[in-house]
Structure 1
């Protein structure tokens, strides 16, 4: 079989892989490399330095500065797209004939460029972006941000039509697949790539519940405020909240509850320890787009998972979770699960059901798509 090669255009430097989008891209690179794919990685630099780690998985890594500034707010293109529109990227994509995998709508400024007409193009959607920004607009209490999110949502809704120029579209969740399939004929479902080659869940019991995520993201901040105010304020069970850069109000609110501990910026090893020893991960969300990578991480690493329909519904993973939607249902679920033992039979059952969410399984699926092009 001839060697398979691909250009991957990433909206960020995907290492260190510290949030959902970068985790999906980084472990996709690793998986494709293991399957013998030669990768030219193009990535935008704005909050990370160049990373030699990426050279282990890529034939070549090329960095581009991401533009910033108020003037880009006045472009007809979405801000997340126009600030990644770099002529050098367009030139470099023309130096080979490999297919191009554009990661996220963010990186699609040249999706319909005539200069790339002869190259096959794949777009990995990380969200239905206009819905995601509409959700951010609803949850934000900052007026300038609220205005920005609303404008960006409308621009992204218009820009979505550019996906017709993709030869294949890779949806990250079943919900997104259903939505995109109604608009475009060339859609496949490939769930997020992630750090787990095998199930790490342990049988037994834990003595605390865990919420984990990037706490600087408004969606996650809202979820934790809900847990503190509506759930753990009214029960005695212990909650650990672990994640990056929590806001001041969250730090203050956590201090008021004796049964809540906030762990800021835990190391990777500490995060693994917290996940494996928890009795359950508790994962409400009020933002329904994309596949919540924290759900996959929880199922691969922890014991029980309590989630709402917005988090787990139509993911193919709902039957592995205890579903709770209202505050009262979350309280009831915590009480119900507190003293349950996670059995070895449940570990085996989960292992079987997660096969279709392993990197190996989905790497083969992606490789087949690339080779078909």
Structure 2
């Protein structure tokens, strides 16, 4: 069985949400016995070491140039998609049993003569029209706001074009899956939860008083989340003995001057850390105070796997299936958010119980391998009795 996986970004290292999902799936497909050819059209060239790691799971890697130009803004296709138009011309071997598109950005590959549309499966990471509208709401930069609104409208049109060519969909968000299924019942769609990346989950000792946020620091919706916390929650938390707010993420070498207008007492920032393990290990709980977004915020799932109970806004946990006050704590107003943190700080046993419940939920409901295997079998794919492990 042979599968072409098409990505808009090299999937390794898995240092942000999209890569975590894609990289985990590549490993699962390899375990299921698929021969994988990987086609990537992104900005950054992987190192030899990164390529070698990926070659442990795939047979072939093809890299394609992403070419952005100002004129792409005038195209009816979203700029994120138009800049990857070279995918339509890449030399491919063909004869793939299935082609897995990792998101809408790689739409141009559907124009490639070696791609048969009846073999195509789309992994929906976000409702991109909703996602770009959310980015527009998050940014204060007027030019960026205009760009995000423009991309949002273009993705609405693109999604209709996609429906004409693709009838197989795997949603990362249960919420977006349910909405899509009601509108398009004839499509072969399924909620495929993100892969659980740890064999053994971690467990906090709940001794520190560190509140942790980990997310891409170059993304406007993550910046907005951090700013909301620093403005509304952090001043209240400074009353707590030994409290610290730990921020970590990849800045892509962009300035962090957007933090300068806030009180950064007891704030520690890890810009593009090589490892997140010690940061998770040092934490008491994880906060996801996102105000705008779409799809599943994998930072919430990653935090639970890494041993931290989560307090989130409604946006920060939507589409995960997690239940408020059973697996996670949810609050949208600042006074409620602060109250939830204080509650867990004052009651380590409650924090431990919440973490254990959420980890149990992931073990039961986030079996990426079995759900993906069952879905492929529904497409008349038969697996050998002895799987490649």
2:273 maps to 1:266: yes
* Structure 1 match to 2:162: 163
Contiguous gaps of at least 5 residues in structure 2: 380-389
CA distance in 1: counterparts of 2:289 and 2:371, whole angstroms:
30
1:314 CA displacement: 4.6
Q: What is the SS of the residue equivalent to 1:202? A: coil
Q: Which of 286, 296, 308 is 1:303 aligned to?
A: 308
Q: Kindly tell me: are residues 194 and 109 of structure 1, through their superposed partners in 2, closer, same or farther at Cα, counting changes over 3 Å?
A: farther
Distance in 2 (CA, whole Å) between partners of 1:203 and 1:345 is: 12
Deviates more, 1:279-288 or 1:348-357: 348-357
- Whether the 8 Å contact between 2:129 and 2:153 is mirrored in structure 1 is yes
- Aligned residue in 1 for 2:229: 227
Using the TM superposition, give the Cα deviation of residue 48 of structure 1 relative to its aligned residue in structure 2, in angstroms. 3.0
Aligned residue-pair number: 364
Q: Distance in 1 between matches of 2:201 and 2:91?
A: 42
Aligned to 2:10, what secondary structure does the other structure show?
A: coil
Measured after TM superposition, the shift of residue 118 of structure 1 is 6.0
Aligned-residue offset at 1:367: 2.6
Deviation at 1:342, TM superposition (A): 4.3
* 1:57–1:34 Cα change, 3 Å: same
How far is the alpha carbon of 1:372 from its aligned partner?
3.4
Residues in 1 aligned to 2:259 and 2:319: alpha-carbon distance in whole angstroms: 33
Distance across 2 between alignment mates of 1:303 and 1:44: 35
CA contact (8 A) 2:87 2:109 kept: no
Structure 1 segments unaligned to the other structure (5+ residues)? none
1:81-230 matches, within 5 Å, as 81-86=81-86, 91-92=91-92, 95-111=94-110, 116-117=115-116, 119-164=118-163, 165-184=165-184, 185-230=187-232
Structure 2 Cα separation of the partners of residues 264 and 342 of structure 1: 32
Instruction: Supply the distance in 1 between the matched residues of 2:94 and 2:114 (Cα, whole angstroms).
Output: 11
Question: Of the candidates 30, 35, 41, which is equivalent to residue 32 of structure 2?
Answer: 35
What's the Cα RMSD here? 2.2
Distance 1:325 1:87, change over 3 A: closer
Closer, same or farther: CA 257–357 of 1 in aligned 2, 3 Å: same
Contact 1:280 1:305 in 2 (8 A): yes
Instruction: State the SS of the aligned residue for 1:274.
Output: helix
CA distance in 2, matches of 1:345, 1:134: 37
Summarize the Cα distance change of 1:80–1:118 in structure 2 as closer, same or farther, 3 Å threshold: closer
- Cα distance in 1 for residues equivalent to 2:235 and 2:269: 15
Matches of 1:79 and 1:104 in 2, distance apart? 14
- Looking at structure 1, the residues matched to 117 and 170 of structure 2 have their Cα atoms a distance apart, in angstroms, of 20
The DSSP-based 3-state class of the residue aligned with 2:311 is: strand
1:62 matched to which residue of 2? Answer: 62
1:327-361 Cα shifts (integer Å, max 9, x gaps): 11111112111132247665553332112454xx2
CA shift in 2, pair 1:196/1:208, >3 Å: same
Shift of 1:119: 4.5
Q: Please give the residue correspondences for 1:282-361 in structure 2 after superposition, counting only pairs within 5 Å.
A: 282-318=287-323, 319-342=326-349, 348-358=356-366, 361=367
Determine the C-alpha separation between the residues in 1 that align with 2:75 and 2:364.
Answer: 41
CA distance in 2, matches of 1:219, 1:79: 19
Matched-pair contact (CA < 8 Å) for 2:118–2:166: no
**Does the 8 A contact of 1:215 with 1:247 survive in 2?**
no
Instruction: Give the SS at the match of 1:156.
Output: helix
Q: Which residue of 1 aligns with 2:249?
A: 243
Native 8 Å contact 2:309 2:355 kept in 1: no
Structure 1 CA distance for aligned equivalents of residues 148 and 82 of structure 2: 15
Over 3 Å counting, the alpha-carbon distance change for 1:222 and 1:161 in structure 2 is same
